[in-house]
């Protein structure tokens, strides 16, 4: 996906790029955010996409919806911040990295190393971010992509930790052992709504296995299962005690099954006995597989027996089911109740454990051949004489939503949000939300909530925010960490105290010159600088500093020596470390300090990229922090003074506190902090989880390396799981603002006395239908759980964009046009409108049609811009100043006010299809009727021409405003072409137009006018008489128009008839033309023909409507008479100032005459 070269771009694409440049050059988006907002804040949450691929039609669709509503609300007078975000964690990215690194299993990741794997993930996270930053604005979306939030940032993770601990405080988080769906390839369990995304129909093999009763040799229980791979883990069988069972004889063996399921027996049999299932309960049978019969497993005495299970039904199978408790929710529940052993004969990678020797090395459900292991098990059973029957079945089976591997129902430990505990509150809050379409919230989402289960939020993976739980192995209790400060409080301490000191004023400070090269250092302290150092040292004389580590620059050494003498320390207490030197300014050395600052503050990426031959601010901080962490390892219980330079010390301070990059940059820019020459400060410090640059980083393995000590002195062990990425993205409302640690002026969901909540809930969100099982759900659950109310008020749910043939869009199949190719051909606005006006807005699917986009480009955008171009032909002429009384002008304003109301109604109800569709109808009215019938008015002089011109200008201006949320480029283009000096700089800085009055009777009458005109044109076509030929009259039936002279005149003008006769006897559909053409009418038709021809010549000559022209014609008596007779009409209609004989090259033949002429200016 890439943009085309300039030569291959269409005119719409070039026009849009010019407008985009205008917006960027004049900071129009920024101005919409800074302008007055009398209606206050409109809160919008933007769901974070992954940046591991390029935007597709789904992103463009959702982004257009997210753009239209904020633009509209901004014009209404709201302040609408729009902050972009990135989803950085989770299985989608991990799967991609595994493919790139050639890793097949979790074991491969462990072998490679978590650090290496996670670093690869980090580098890949924003691989395409620059592409997104160019593509998203190109489609007209305004959103702050520079001040983006990222779910992998430490500040974001700290808020996620807070949320997790707060939920735990509320009793809504627990660790449980449950049957969940496991992806063996990913090696982790999934949440129920992740599982719901991956069901597909597959063919499997069901098997009926023979379980021989211990007390009745030769009698077998017939147990049925659709998962033969679970049989080696069989621990029990279940019947329904209330149902009737039978013992039958067939051949030499006897079988037991439910009476109502005898239909499964396909051989001759004889019923020997009937009895209730309760008689089977407690009976023992021989294990079908002996792998665990000799093992010392917990609860072994309860194994291989028959139990009652109310969930056993007569719908399928034999009425007996086999139990492998580790691989089924109901089986596990029964096992936990009865004490039946829970044995995992398959590990979390999906392979049979070594104890299952006959199937060692096999996967339970291989992705490439899901039936292969079942077949192996069936063959084994057949060989042992334990197979009764098998058959192929088609059923819906869950697959991993990211890697498409068949899932295993697997009993495992996980951390859960206890959704069932507050489900009723979630359901109640959901009913307050305005879902568009309503059925999604009521049915699809509402029903999902009614059946919601506890949410498994931990994942046994690597690249994600770590679960902040540490265990005390002695007390068996868990420690929940909810903030960085809490983490610091448990972190093992060295007992060291740290102080920092900036050198005193030096001669280079006085000169304002940069001196950062150690090899030619000759800078000393000034007398003032020595006094500053002495005063600071004396102020800290009693701080018991006993060790000094110093930058080897002379000015730092001199400062340190003053401090050493004041503290009374031996010279051996002072050491020098080149990592503490001044910032390496590179080519700025020996230049004025101002020159560097001018460069630094204007560089887009100065924190990461330093000047030539110098270093970056990040590199400076890393070397400083490296010293600090080495001191922490090397010494215990000492008070250490670090003497260095201002910028390095500011960087060290930020890293020691674990500040974000953004805050560190503010500190380095001296916005938040400034160190005076000679100043000493205490530096609070405990080791933090950090990356190679010593920046706070909670990811594995850094978080695993931090040593935490419990209050009893026991070293704590961290739970190694990470968060479900849906928990993270569902936290964006508060985590993007680092709540509750800062930014409470932006986000504070808790109202107080005379204080409203801020930034919560969202007034509006939007995503695709698939997010009812994803982001919509996680947002709502966390919002209700944490803050007691729904996270959002209004939500638009869009459908899925499919290929034109109705199939899923596929890069492999190449069954859809590249979005950028369509963009360059038709423009972004055509795509935007096409999507917004489609069934997608009703959460229905759309088969994407490039032809449909082309129709929008021509029938809506092209027509409207043609109207604007027509206006420009006359815009320099005098405009009217008072409201026009002309019926066309009154009608078009009435229609415009009607459309404003329709658009506004659609936007207020968040039904964007209803808001956009009236625009097409209006442009059709404007272009094909208003302008068509008003063209001659513009060519005239006088009040009516001025009224028409002012009306058209006003209509274009107002239409530009109401189309701005949907077609921002077209709206801007039109607005700039009609804008006057006193109007706002951009259409997007304008107020939303107020809905004026409509004239319903006039609109009804105009519909009738157009109906009759249409009938009249059809009548002309039938008799093959062109409209240029005047006719005497047309007779129609229209009680509504009787006596309406002005409106009847429109019909006369449209049909070129002298009279419209109303006859109530005719039917409504009849239109009778008087086709008798008199000589007078014939000649008038000839005049019209000449006028048409001259107008074409004017156009070919490039003459504007206001330019006069001279008619040059070849001499002919007939022609001269014709011109003399009709000169006034011809010259007025075509703006001819004179006529002269000459060499005419253009020929027109009519009524036996040949007319050769030219026009010239």
Contact 1146, 1093 (CB under 8 A): yes
Measure the CA–CA gap between 320 and 208, rounded to whole angstroms: 10
Give whole-number Cα distances, 641 to 454, 569, 582, in Å: 52, 12, 17
Integer Cα distance of 1037 and 218 in angstroms:
96
Instruction: Kindly state whether residue 407 falls inside one of the protein's structural domains.
Output: no
Give the C-alpha separation, 87 to 128, whole Å: 13
Distances (CA, A) of 652 to 63, 509, 643, 1034: 40, 21, 12, 91
Whole-angstrom Cα distance, residue 113 to residue 93?
Answer: 17
| Three-state DSSP string of 21-37 | HHHHHCCHHHHHHHCCC
* Domain range for 934: 849-984
My answer on whether 632 and 671 are in the same domain is: yes
217 lies in the same domain as 279: yes
pTM of the model: 0.89
Do 1090 and 1071 have their domain in common? no
Could you please report the per-residue DSSP string of 100-147?
A: HHT--SHHHHHHH-HHHHHHHHHHHHTTTHHHHHHHHHHTT---EEEE
Bridge partners, 764 (sequence order): 44
Two tokens at 21? 């440049």
Q: What is the dihedral of CA 462, 463, 469, 475, to 10 degrees?
A: 10
pLDDT for res 410: 84
- Cβ neighbors of 634 (< 8 A, separation 6 or more) are none
Q: How far apart are CA 587 and CA 598, in angstroms?
A: 14
Tell me the C-alpha distance between 212 and 226, whole Å: 20
Q: Rounded to whole angstroms, how far apart are CA atoms 325 and 414?
A: 17
Pair 50, 93: CB distance under 8 Å: yes
Flag whether 621 is in a domain: yes
What's CA 230's distance to the chain center, in Å? 40
pLDDT of residue 596: 87
Instruction: Give the 3-state secondary structure of 634-692.
Output: HCCCCEEEEEECHHHHHHHHHHHHCCCHHHHHHHHCCCCCCCCCCCEEEECCCCCCECC
- For the chain, the domain total comes to 6
Q: First and final CA of the chain: distance in angstroms?
A: 50
Contact present, 75 and 991 (Cβ < 8 Å): yes
How many whole angstroms separate alpha carbon 768 and alpha carbon 797?
5
- Among 685, 704, 733, identify where a domain stops: 685
> Cα–Cα distance between 695 and 687 in angstroms, integer?
11
Helix (H) or strand (E) holding 1000: helix 1000-1023
- Nearest Cα residue to 1071 out of 1111, 1020, 1112: 1020
Task: Give the three-state DSSP class for 346.
Answer: strand
What letter does residue 985 receive in the DSSP assignment?
Answer: S
Reading the block at residue 909, the tokens are 């109800």
- The answer to whether residue 576 is domain-embedded is yes
Residue 405 Cα distances to 102, 198, 226, 398, angstroms = 17, 9, 18, 9
- Neighbour tally for 57: CB within 10 Å: 21
Distances in Å between the alpha carbon of 869 and those of 863, 920, 939, 953?
Answer: 10, 18, 15, 11
- C-alpha separations of 915 from 636, 898, 991, 1004 in Å: 70, 12, 18, 22
CATH number at residue 597: 3.40.50.1240
Give pairs for 98-102: CB < 8 Å, separation 24+.
100/124
Helix or strand holding residue 209 (H, E): strand 199-212
Nearest to 445 by CA among 680, 121, 769, 707: 769
Same domain for 626 and 502: yes
Farthest CA pair distance, the chain: 129
State how far the alpha carbon of 191 is from the alpha carbons of 415, 450, 778, in Å: 11, 16, 11
Q: What is the mean pLDDT of the chain?
A: 92
The predicted pLDDT at position 878 comes to 79
Residues 583 and 614 in one domain: yes
Task: Judge whether 150 and 85 are in contact, CB under 8 Å.
Answer: yes
**871 plus 979 within the same structural domain:** yes
Gap between the Cα atoms of 861 and 11, Å rounded? 12
In-domain check, residue 135: no
- Specify if 27 maps to a domain: no
**Measured at the alpha carbon of residue 508, what is the angle toward residues 506 and 512, in degrees to the nearest 5?**
125
Residues 6 or more apart whose Cβ sits within 8 Å of residue 1112: 1139, 1140, 1141, 1142, 1143, 1144, 1157, 1158, 1159, 1160
Beta bridge partners of 122: none
Note the pLDDT of residue 70: 98
Q: What is the DSSP string of 822-878?
A: HHHHH-HHHHHHHHHTSGGGGT--EE--HHHHHHIIIIIIIHHHHHHHHHHHHTTSP
Of 109, 125, 141, which marks where a domain is finished? 125
Question: Are 372 and 390 in a shared domain?
Answer: yes
Dist. CA 693–CA 691, nearest whole Å: 5
- Torsion, CA 1028, CA 1030, CA 1035, CA 1041, rounded to 10: 70
Residue 923 lies in a domain: yes
Whether 635 contacts 547, CB under 8 Å:
yes
Is 404 part of a structural domain of the chain? no
Query: What Rg do the C-alpha atoms of the chain give, in angstroms?
Result: 41
Say whether both 230 and 289 belong to one domain: yes
Cis peptide before 242 (omega within 30 of 0): no
Flag residues of the chain having pLDDT under 70: 1-7, 601-604
Instruction: Check if the beta carbon of residue 369 is closer than 8 Å to that of residue 170.
Output: no
C-alpha to C-alpha distance for 873 and 883, rounded to whole angstroms:
22
Domain match, 529 and 673 both: yes
How far is Cα 449 from Cα 466, in angstroms, rounded to an integer? Answer: 27
Is there a single domain that holds both residue 247 and residue 329?
yes
Beta pairing partners, 706: none
Domain end marker among 952, 984, 1016: 984
Do residues 617 and 523 lie in contact, with contact meaning Cβ atoms separated by under 8 Å?
A: no
Q: Is 721 a domain residue?
A: no
Residue position matching structure tokens 């479900």: 724
Neighbours of 214 (CB within 10 A): 12
Distance CA 495, CA 602 (A): 42
**Quick one: pLDDT at residue 1034?**
92
What is 168-201 written as a DSSP string? HHTT-EEEEEEEEEEETTTTEEE-HHHHGGGEEE
1098 and 1066 in a common domain:
no
1011 lies in the same domain as 957: no
Whole-number Å distance between alpha carbons of 331 and 326: 8
Give dist(CA 850, CA 837) in Å, integer. Answer: 15
């Amino acid at each position: 996906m890439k943009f085309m070269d300039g030569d291959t771009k269409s005119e719409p694409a070039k026009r849009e790029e010019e407008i985009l440049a205008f917006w960027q050059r004049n900071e129009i988006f920024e101005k919409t955010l800074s302008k007055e907002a009398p209606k206050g804040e409109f809160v919008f949450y933007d769901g974070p996409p992954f940046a591991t691929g390029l935007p597709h039609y789904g992103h463009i669709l959702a982004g257009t919806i997210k753009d239209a509503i904020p633009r509209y609300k901004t014009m209404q007078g709201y302040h609408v911040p729009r902050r972009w975000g990135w989803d950085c964690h989770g299985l989608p990215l991990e799967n991609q990295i595994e493919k790139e690194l050639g890793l097949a299993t979790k074991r491969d990741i462990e072998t490679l190393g978590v650090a290496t794997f996670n670093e690869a993930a980090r580098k890949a996270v924003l691989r395409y971010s620059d592409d997104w930053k160019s593509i998203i604005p190109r489609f007209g979306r305004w959103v702050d992509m520079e001040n983006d939030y990222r779910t992998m940032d430490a500040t974001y993770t700290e808020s996620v930790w807070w949320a997790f601990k707060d939920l735990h405080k509320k009793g809504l988080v627990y660790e449980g052992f449950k049957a969940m769906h496991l992806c063996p390839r990913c090696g982790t369990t999934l949440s129920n709504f992740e599982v719901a995304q991956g069901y597909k129909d597959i063919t499997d093999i069901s098997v009926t296995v023979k379980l021989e009763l211990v007390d009745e040799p030769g009698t077998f229980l017939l147990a049925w299962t659709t998962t033969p791979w679970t049989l080696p883990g069989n621990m029990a069988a279940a019947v329904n005690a209330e149902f009737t069972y039978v013992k039958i004889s067939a051949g030499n063996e006897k079988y037991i099954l439910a009476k109502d399921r005898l239909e499964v027996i396909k051989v001759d049999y004889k019923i020997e006995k009937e009895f209730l299932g309760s008689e089977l309960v407690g009976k023992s049978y021989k294990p079908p597989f002996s792998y665990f019969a000799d093992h010392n497993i917990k609860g072994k005495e309860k194994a291989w027996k028959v139990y009652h299970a109310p969930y056993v039904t007569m719908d399928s199978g034999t009425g007996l089911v086999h139990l492998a408790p580790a691989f089924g929710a109901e089986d596990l529940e029964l096992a936990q109740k009865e004490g039946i052993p829970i044995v995992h004969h398959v590990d979390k990678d999906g392979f049979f454990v070594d104890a299952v020797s006959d199937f060692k090395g096999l996967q339970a459900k291989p992705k490439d051949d899901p039936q292969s292991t079942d077949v192996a098990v069936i063959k084994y059973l057949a060989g042992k004489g334990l197979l009764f029957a098998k058959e192929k079945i088609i059923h819906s089976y869950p697959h991993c939503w990211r890697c498409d591997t068949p899932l295993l129902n697997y009993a495992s430990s996980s951390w859960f949000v206890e959704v069932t505990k507050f489900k009723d509150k979630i359901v109640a809050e959901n009913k307050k939300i305005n879902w568009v379409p309503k059925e999604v919230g009521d049915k699809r989402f509402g029903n999902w909530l009614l059946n919601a289960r506890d949410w498994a939020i931990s994942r046994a993976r690597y690249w994600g925010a770590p679960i902040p739980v540490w265990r005390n192995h002695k007390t068996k209790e868990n420690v929940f960490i909810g903030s960085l400060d809490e983490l610091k409080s448990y972190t093992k301490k060295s007992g060291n105290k740290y102080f920092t000191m900036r050198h005193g004023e030096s001669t280079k400070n006085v000169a304002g010159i940069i001196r950062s090269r150690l090899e030619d250092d000759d800078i000393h302290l000034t007398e003032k600088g020595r006094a500053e150092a002495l005063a600071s040292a004396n102020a800290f004389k009693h701080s018991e500093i006993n060790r000094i580590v110093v930058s080897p620059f002379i000015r730092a050494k001199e400062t340190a020596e003053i401090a050493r003498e004041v503290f009374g320390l031996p010279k051996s207490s002072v050491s020098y470390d080149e990592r503490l030197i001044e910032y390496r300014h590179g080519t700025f050395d020996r230049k004025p300090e101002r020159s560097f600052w001018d460069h630094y503050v204007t560089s887009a990426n100065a924190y990461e990229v330093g000047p030539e031959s110098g270093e970056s601010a990040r590199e400076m901080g890393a070397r400083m922090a490296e010293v600090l962490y080495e001191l922490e390892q090397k010494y215990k219980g000492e008070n250490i003074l670090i003497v260095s330079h201002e910028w390095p010390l500011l960087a060290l301070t930020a890293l020691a506190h674990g500040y974000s990059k953004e805050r560190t940059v503010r500190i380095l820019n001296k916005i938040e902090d400034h160190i005076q020459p000679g100043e000493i400060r205490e530096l609070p410090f405990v080791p933090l989880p950090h990356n190679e640059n010593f920046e706070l980083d909670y990811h594995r393995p850094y978080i695993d390396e931090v040593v935490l000590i419990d209050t009893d002195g026991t070293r704590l062990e961290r739970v190694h799981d990470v968060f479900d990425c849906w928990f993270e993205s569902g936290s964006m409302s508060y985590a993007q603002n680092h709540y509750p640690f800062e930014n409470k002026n932006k986000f504070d969901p808790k109202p107080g006395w005379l204080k409203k909540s801020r930034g919560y809930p969202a007034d509006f969100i939007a995503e695709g239908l698939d997010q009812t099982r994803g982001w919509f759900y996680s947002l709502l659950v966390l919002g209700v759980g944490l803050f007691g109310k729904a996270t959002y008020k209004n939500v638009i749910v869009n459908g899925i964009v499919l290929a034109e043939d109705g199939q899923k869009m596929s890069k492999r199949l190449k069954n859809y046009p590249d979005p950028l190719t369509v963009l360059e051909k038709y423009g972004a606005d055509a795509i935007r409108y096409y999507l917004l006006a489609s069934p997608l807005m009703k959460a229905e699917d759309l088969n994407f049609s490039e032809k449909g986009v082309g129709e929008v480009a021509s029938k809506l955008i092209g027509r409207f811009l043609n109207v604007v171009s027509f206006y420009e032909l006359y815009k320099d002429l005098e405009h009217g100043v008072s409201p026009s009384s002309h019926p066309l002008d009154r009608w078009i304003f009435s229609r415009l006010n009607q459309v404003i109301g329709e658009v506004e109604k659609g936007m207020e109800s968040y039904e964007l299809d209803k808001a956009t569709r009236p625009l097409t109808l209006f442009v059709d009215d404007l272009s094909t009727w208003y302008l068509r019938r008003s063209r001659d008015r513009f060519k005239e002089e006088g009040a009516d021409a001025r009224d028409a011109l002012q009306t058209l200008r006003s209509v274009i201006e107002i239409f530009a405003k109401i189309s701005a949320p949907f077609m921002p480029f077209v709206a801007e283009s039109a607005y700039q072409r009609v804008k006057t000096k006193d109007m706002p700089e951009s259409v997007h800085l304008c107020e939303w137009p107020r809905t004026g009055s409509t004239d319903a009777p006039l609109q009804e009458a105009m519909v009738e006018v157009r109906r009759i005109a249409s009938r009249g044109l059809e009548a002309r076509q039938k008799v093959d008489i062109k409209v240029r030929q005047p006719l005497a009259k047309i007779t129609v039936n229209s009680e509504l128009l009787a006596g309406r002279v002005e409106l009847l005149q429109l019909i006369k003008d449209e049909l070129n008839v002298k009279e419209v006769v109303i006859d109530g006897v005719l039917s409504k559909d009849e239109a009778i033309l008087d086709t008798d053409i008199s000589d007078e009418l014939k000649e008038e038709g000839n005049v019209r023909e000449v006028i048409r021809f001259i107008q074409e010549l004017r156009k070919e000559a490039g003459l504007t409507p206001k330019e006069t022209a001279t008619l040059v014609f070849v001499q002919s008596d007939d022609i001269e008479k014709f011109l003399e007779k009709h000169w006034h009409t011809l010259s007025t209609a075509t703006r001819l100032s004179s006529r002269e004989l000459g060499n005419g090259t253009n020929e027109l033949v009519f009524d036996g005459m040949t007319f050769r002429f030219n026009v010239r200016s």
